[in-house]
Chains A and B, each alone.
Chain A
Amino acid sequence: MDQVLVKMSTYTADVSGVCSALYELGGMVVIHDPSGCNSTYNTHDEPRWYSMDSLVFISGLKEIDAIMGNDDKFIRDVEEAAQQLKPRFIALVRTPVPMMIGTDFEAIAAMIEEDTGITTFYVPTNGMHSYIDGAGAAFEKLARLMTDEISGKPARDPADGSICVNLLGVTPLDFSVGSMVASMKDFVADSGFRLVSCVAMGSSPEEIARAGSADVNIVVSSTGFRAAQVLKDRFGTPWVVGTPCGGFGAAVAADVRRAAASGEDIISYDSAQMPEMKYRAGYYIIGELVTSSSAAAALMMRDGEAPQVICPLEPPAELRKEPAAFIRAENAIRERLADAGTVIADPMYKRLCPDGAQLIAVPHEAYSGRIYRKQIPDMIKLEI
């Protein structure tokens, strides 16, 4: 049965994905749930929780309030907290029970916004999808809100001749809190580009609000794609999908220059400019689609052979390129790995590998949480 997990862990879900995406932006995120979702998120999915404050709360939904449709308490509690804490925005996050009972989040958000004067929106999660959905939806919402009142492409410094870029889809779920984000920023600088914003780690809301001024958006994880589509729609900004791992970074940089010149959208790990991938039988990489496909391309450039990508998540359809396999069920992954000789994956996948297969451990926060955090290599520098 596809839904049975005996040996696998489960990826960060959509609710936590929203919280992670919006963490550094000065807003208040309220998870409408009895309990547990906040603890799950801040214990296992948020490495910044201890060292960096953010306003993420849970509503403490009770049975009687759910049955009676007592949204008043939820609204009142959110408004009271907002009046006290004065967040830049309020994000309401939906979980399974509010979804089941049809809580009208659109109306609640509108009421809160009217009462408080604070931009309020809701993200239609339900706890049953992965962080790709949740963070993706949050970044999309962010892209819309922060550019809502801007008409036309924001002005740039005319003296600045460099290609201006945003990094989209940056959360600790894919990049942890080690050196990878800094390495990506180094890539931008070393490539001669100028960083407008890193969405959303290490950039202020003011910097993100200027995201529309970029020449190209670099989507470094699936979570950033929906925001890239919004920015394309609003400002015509082309996107390049690819994480600049190792030698593959040069290919991404070349695609950025091409996109800046032509306006075309490019999936770097699938572009015609990529050398033909030589896949060795029994050699796999498991993880998020963009980072894994990019790492596979980088390994091809470095080693002359590439692992086949297995993605157990739900990336946007536009990013799914063969021969990557989109397999979620434990039995199906085990079956696929039957011939595995070498697997690059989070250590928790060891239990699915056949005896004798070598696991090259690349821990993934969105999979094993904090268990192997200190062992997460800098994949931008291709430290494997």
Chain B
Amino acid sequence: MLKMIHGAQDRDLRAAHTTAGEAGWPVPFPSVLEYNSPAHGPWNIVHMGMLIPGAHQIYVCADNCNRGVILTAAEMGAQDRFSNIAVSEDDLINGHMEELIIDGVGEVLASLEKKPSVVLLFTVCLHHFLGTDLNYIYSELRSRHPDQIFIDSYMDCILQKDGLTPDQKLRIGMYKCLEKRPLRPDQINIIGNDLPMNDGSELLQMAADAGISVKDITRCASFAEYMTMSESFLNISTYPNARPGCEVLSRRLGQTSLYLPQCFGYDEIENELRSFAEAIHAKTLPDFASLRAMADEALFHAQKIAGSTPVAVDYTAFPRVLGLSRLLLEHGFNVVRIYADAFSGEEEEDFKWLAANHPDTEIYATIHPDMRVMPRGWDGKLLAVGQKAAYFTQSPYFVNLVEGGGLYGFNGIRSLCGLMEEAIAAPKEIEDNVVRKGLGCLSCIDI
């Protein structure tokens, strides 16, 4: 019987971990074989696509690829909004791929009692290599099915390391339904988030104070409401993968685009909110000194509870994982480890700060094959921020959060402090939490 092999052998596993002082920028680890841990909370393209009210997803791919997406839809209780067309070996050589897709989509639509407003049609790596005529396919589909909006979508992972990822492409595609309309000066959009921005965020408060309504696909109750996003004069993106989609949409509809990434540096947050205020012509600004003080107070309170408890963070919790680490270190938290395979170009300054001020902070990969055998656990209590940090350290004291959790601005920092205090106080079952896909979506699994 195979035993657990992590930590069992005396191996040099230095390829999978380094320190802040020694790490290469922006990729500290070599690109080799990849391991996939059981932590699956971040959203995938199936979860994202379901955010469009009434949309139906159709994937055209081989069975092995289909399996993951079909079961993602099933696990989130959205099987009714999902279909697929299985590609066989014959389809690769018979020259009829276009007909397969066109006729297959037609059959799907014919069998649906309630016709969808939007069809997200996903083609894959195979179609790219075959030179499948996607223009013809979409042209024909739009001609045959004028009542449906077809969005070209892609599950073409083979292109993701040198171009846009399927995730980024979908965050562009999800807004292709929006048509040019007269813009309203009292409405803005948040583009490309999977999770709603926290209600108490300064950005939402500033918008409300200025009499501006905020549309966010995560809160759209109907397709009609989603379509009114066309009328916003300003698009905000806060999640890095959402930025291309925000900019493409803004150019197409003549809207203004503003990238205000979720971050942790007080100056950067304040600058972002000032830019936002300018963009919405706000008459007043928040009391930034007060906001900073309240954030400091929350951090101080949380740090008193955490004490010297080691803290590990990972990139799936927050894209700006280095910025988060710096914030916590600057406020006395004992951040000992960061789990990340690469760093965003936006984090170079924080990277340099860590290297200069906390060079011994450990940086661990999450996908390097050595992580399969890296000892998992921590001697004593540790606070983990993120599912991968929780899994690799086997700490039940963790903040279960992905993609920034919608925590934006100074209010986001205060909310995070509350979550950390809760995490330290009450252990959670690790496996049952981290294995569930798409944190925030319904999860029907019974493990």
Residues of A within 8 A of B (CB): 1, 3-7, 9-16, 23-26, 30, 33-40, 42-45, 49-50, 52-55, 57-64, 66, 77-78, 80-81, 84-86, 95-97, 100-101, 126-130, 202-204, 348, 351, 368-375
Which one of B155-163, B173-181, B206-214, B259-267 is at the A interface? B155-163
CB-CB nearest 7 A-B residue pairs? A40-B68, A127-B64, A13-B64, A127-B62, A34-B157, A57-B33, A35-B157
Q: A81 with B32: in contact, given A44-B71, A52-B4 (CB under 8 Å)?
A: yes
Q: Does B137 contact A (CB under 8 A)?
A: no
- In chain A, what residue has the closest Cβ to B431? A50
Inter-chain CA distance A53–B391, complex, in Å, is: 13
Q: A126 with B4: in contact, given A5-B83, A36-B68, A101-B129 (CB under 8 Å)?
A: no
- In chain A, what residue has the closest Cβ to B163? A63
Inter-chain CA distance A33–B1, complex, in Å, is: 29
Q: Does B107 contact A (CB under 8 A)?
A: yes
A62 touches B74 (CB 8 A): no
B125 touches A34 (CB 8 A): yes
Inter-chain CA distance A6–B79, complex, in Å, is: 9
A10 touches B63 (CB 8 A): yes
Q: How far is the CB of B6 from chain A (nearest CB, A)?
A: 5
- Most central of B32, B36, B100, B446 by chain A CB within 10 Å: B36
25 contacts between A and B (CB under 8 A): A4-B86, A5-B84, A5-B85, A5-B86, A6-B107, A10-B70, A12-B67, A34-B158, A37-B65, A38-B36, A39-B36, A42-B38, A53-B3, A53-B5, A53-B6, A55-B373, A61-B158, A77-B33, A78-B33, A84-B370, A95-B64, A100-B92, A128-B88, A128-B89, A368-B74
A127 touches B40 (CB 8 A): no
Q: A4 with B104: in contact, given A52-B2, A81-B33, A84-B11 (CB under 8 Å)?
A: yes
- In chain B, what residue has the closest Cβ to A59? B33
Within B390-447, the residues touching A (CB, 8 Å) are 431, 435, 437, 444-447
Inter-chain CA distance A25–B32, complex, in Å, is: 23
Q: How far is the CB of B9 from chain A (nearest CB, A)?
A: 8
Q: A375 with B446: in contact, given A5-B85, A15-B64, A37-B64 (CB under 8 Å)?
A: yes
A7: chain B residues within 8 A (beta carbon): 79
Inter-chain CA distance A3–B128, complex, in Å, is: 20
A-B contact count (CB 8 A): 221
- In chain A, what residue has the closest Cβ to B75? A371
Which among B71, B87, B162 is the interface contact of A371 at CB below 8 angstroms?
B71
Q: Does B103 contact A (CB under 8 A)?
A: yes
- In chain B, what residue has the closest Cβ to A30? B33
Q: Does B297 contact A (CB under 8 A)?
A: no
A55 touches B435 (CB 8 A): no
Inter-chain CA distance A202–B33, complex, in Å, is: 27
Inter-chain CA distance A202–B1, complex, in Å, is: 5
Q: A1 with B104: in contact, given A44-B67, A100-B129 (CB under 8 Å)?
A: yes
Q: How far is the CB of B77 from chain A (nearest CB, A)?
A: 10
Q: A203 with B431: in contact, given A4-B108, A40-B64, A97-B158 (CB under 8 Å)?
A: no
B136: chain A residues within 8 A (beta carbon): none
B148: chain A residues within 8 A (beta carbon): none
B74 touches A55 (CB 8 A): no
Q: A373 with B446: in contact, given A81-B33, A100-B92 (CB under 8 Å)?
A: yes
Inter-chain CA distance A11–B71, complex, in Å, is: 10
B129 touches A127 (CB 8 A): no
Q: A53 with B372: in contact, given A3-B104, A66-B129, A373-B447 (CB under 8 Å)?
A: yes
Inter-chain CA distance A110–B55, complex, in Å, is: 48
A3 touches B36 (CB 8 A): no
B100: chain A residues within 8 A (beta carbon): 1, 3
Q: Does B66 contact A (CB under 8 A)?
A: yes
- In chain B, what residue has the closest Cβ to A376? B446
Given contacts A53-B3, A62-B162, A374-B446, 5 further A-B contacts (CB under 8 A): A3-B88, A34-B158, A44-B68, A77-B33, A368-B74
B435 touches A96 (CB 8 A): no
B85 touches A3 (CB 8 A): yes
A55 touches B68 (CB 8 A): no
Q: Does B27 contact A (CB under 8 A)?
A: no
Q: How far is the CB of B59 from chain A (nearest CB, A)?
A: 10
Inter-chain CA distance A55–B161, complex, in Å, is: 23
Inter-chain CA distance A58–B87, complex, in Å, is: 22
Inter-chain CA distance A368–B40, complex, in Å, is: 18
Inter-chain CA distance A35–B40, complex, in Å, is: 14
A44: chain B residues within 8 A (beta carbon): 67-68, 71
Inter-chain CA distance A45–B67, complex, in Å, is: 9
Inter-chain CA distance A205–B308, complex, in Å, is: 46
Inter-chain CA distance A348–B268, complex, in Å, is: 50
Q: Does B111 contact A (CB under 8 A)?
A: yes
- In chain A, what residue has the closest Cβ to B9? A86
- In chain B, what residue has the closest Cβ to A62? B161
- In chain A, what residue has the closest Cβ to B108? A6
Q: How far is the CB of B37 from chain A (nearest CB, A)?
A: 9
Inter-chain CA distance A80–B30, complex, in Å, is: 12
Inter-chain CA distance A42–B128, complex, in Å, is: 26
Q: Does B126 contact A (CB under 8 A)?
A: yes
Q: Does B221 contact A (CB under 8 A)?
A: no
A10 touches B33 (CB 8 A): no
Inter-chain CA distance A9–B80, complex, in Å, is: 11
Q: A16 with B67: in contact, given A6-B112, A81-B32, A81-B33 (CB under 8 Å)?
A: yes
A43 touches B104 (CB 8 A): no
What mask results when residues 15 to 41 of chain B are scored 1 for a CB within 8 Å of chain A, else 0? Answer: 100000000000000011111101010
A373: chain B residues within 8 A (beta carbon): 445-447
Within B357-385, the residues touching A (CB, 8 Å) are 369-370, 372-373
B431: chain A residues within 8 A (beta carbon): 50
A64: chain B residues within 8 A (beta carbon): 162
Inter-chain CA distance A66–B156, complex, in Å, is: 13
Q: How far is the CB of A369 from chain B (nearest CB, A)?
A: 5
B89 touches A81 (CB 8 A): no
Inter-chain CA distance A85–B64, complex, in Å, is: 27
- Most central of A7, A36, A374 by chain B CB within 10 Å: A36
Inter-chain CA distance A15–B71, complex, in Å, is: 16
Inter-chain CA distance A57–B62, complex, in Å, is: 20
B70: chain A residues within 8 A (beta carbon): 5, 9-10
A202: chain B residues within 8 A (beta carbon): 1
- In chain A, what residue has the closest Cβ to B128? A63
Q: How far is the CB of B42 from chain A (nearest CB, A)?
A: 11
B447: chain A residues within 8 A (beta carbon): 370, 373-374
Inter-chain CA distance A348–B74, complex, in Å, is: 9
A36 touches B65 (CB 8 A): yes
A9: chain B residues within 8 A (beta carbon): 70-71, 74, 79
Inter-chain CA distance A37–B91, complex, in Å, is: 20
A372 touches B63 (CB 8 A): no
B369 touches A55 (CB 8 A): yes
- In chain B, what residue has the closest Cβ to A329? B86
A371 touches B74 (CB 8 A): yes
A60 touches B63 (CB 8 A): no
Inter-chain CA distance A84–B13, complex, in Å, is: 8
Q: A53 with B32: in contact, given A34-B160, A66-B129, A371-B444 (CB under 8 Å)?
A: no
B86 touches A10 (CB 8 A): yes
A129 touches B63 (CB 8 A): yes
Inter-chain CA distance A26–B160, complex, in Å, is: 31
A368: chain B residues within 8 A (beta carbon): 71, 74
Which among B2, B31, B126 is the interface contact of A60 at CB below 8 angstroms?
B31
B126: chain A residues within 8 A (beta carbon): 96-97, 100
A30: chain B residues within 8 A (beta carbon): 33
